[in-house]
Structure 1
């Protein structure tokens, strides 16, 4: 079967949204990978690939994809990525994508390229077992009618941080937008409802997760280092964490990042 004809469970979900172009389209444009990676968390080994949303074909693979999954050839269709996913997690992924589409419809086509979606699921690794990965997707191209045609997906192995899936979808703004939507799918983390971070604390947590120091965060947010230390102290207190390592674990487990 031709790569572009392979079917996967998300086709039906995506086809329910008029904002994704249905006709097949060849894409030669390479998205600004470096800028996109800067918007994403990569706390651990990661890889990315570009997906043509009109036919689910993949390109521009990061070499870590082969290493992490023990593959000898790069997947050419999204179905091959989904085949690496734990079968029990497929229903969650489909629900997660439905929630992403619903929120995108609510926010409007004009904002699609300034939104990032993320959630977690288990994938088969080169060791032969299933480990928890953090999935992030940034839309990178639309056609003349604002229909989506391209996305960059990044997968980070976070098994060393946590093996607990928060069953949460996050939709956050990038670039000029600062959206933050946390959507529970099922079996919500028992601790997450007790953690209520302010908008500023959420921004600081996101930058901590990206590996920035206190001084770097203060410059980025145009705040004093003392203020950043205070925010970090408050975040640790609210999450009942003693240090940054515990904070990252709790942030993933509770679907805060």
Structure 2
């Protein structure tokens, strides 16, 4: 079967979104990957690939994809990526994508290039076991009719941070958009309830920058705040999440679907 004809369970979900181009289209333009990575979290080993949404082919693979999954050649279709996913997580992924489509339709197609979707699932690694990965997707190209044709996906191995899947989809704004939507799917974690964490918009913004690895001084310059103010916000974030340090904060942020 030709790569453009390989079927996977997300096609039916995506076809419910009126903003997706249905007919096959070859894409030559490569999105500004380095710039896009600045909007993504990479707390650990990661890789990315460019996805052609019109036929599910993938290209421009980061070399870590081979290393992390123990592959000899780069996957050519999204189905090859999905085949690396733990079978028990497929149903969750389908539900997660359904929520992404629903929320994007609510927000409006005119904003679709300024939204990022993220959630977690387990993938098979080079060692032969399944570990938790954090999936992020940014839409990068649409045609003249606002039909989506391309995205860039990044997968980060976060198994060293947490093994608990929060079963939460996060839709967040990038660039000038300030969206922040947490959507619970099912199987809420028994250990703690993220809904009890009431971070302010500024605290959420700073948490995201902390997760991207920025220092306090860097965050103060980016947000035009004093370093003292940034330290105060970080202290409040630690207190609200009952975290002793940055490492514990990151673990809880992933487990609660805060990032």
Q: What is the TM-score of this pair, normalised by structure 2? A: 0.98
**Post-superposition offset of 1:144:** 0.5
Q: Are residues 1:176 and 2:176 paired?
A: yes
Q: Are residues 1:167 and 2:167 paired?
A: yes
Q: Are residues 1:209 and 2:204 paired?
A: no
> Which residue does the alignment assign to 1:59?
59
- Could you list the runs of 4 or more consecutive aligned residues of structure 1 that deviate by over 3 angstroms after TM superposition? none
> Which residue does the alignment assign to 1:139?
139
> Which residue does the alignment assign to 1:254?
256
The 5-angstrom pairing of residues 1-257 of structure 1 reads 1-189=1-189, 190-257=192-259
Query: Which deviates the most, 183-192 or 76-85?
Result: 183-192
SS in 1 for 2:250: helix
**Post-superposition offset of 1:83:** 0.2
Runs of at least 5 residues in structure 1 that lack an aligned partner in the other structure: none
**Post-superposition offset of 1:191:** 2.4
Query: Which deviates the most, 229-238 or 182-191?
Result: 182-191
Report the aligned-residue RMSD: 0.6
1:160-191 residue CA offsets vs partner (Å, 9 max, x unmatched): 00000000000111111111111100122332
Q: What is the TM-score of this pair, normalised by structure 1? A: 0.99
Tell me, in whole angstroms, the C-alpha distance in 2 between the residues paired with 1:101 and 1:132.
23
Runs of at least 5 residues in structure 2 that lack an aligned partner in the other structure: none
Tell me, in whole angstroms, the C-alpha distance in 2 between the residues paired with 1:232 and 1:163.
25
1:169-222 residue CA offsets vs partner (Å, 9 max, x unmatched): 001111111111111001223321221111110001000000001011011111
Tell me, in whole angstroms, the C-alpha distance in 1 between the residues paired with 2:17 and 2:171.
17
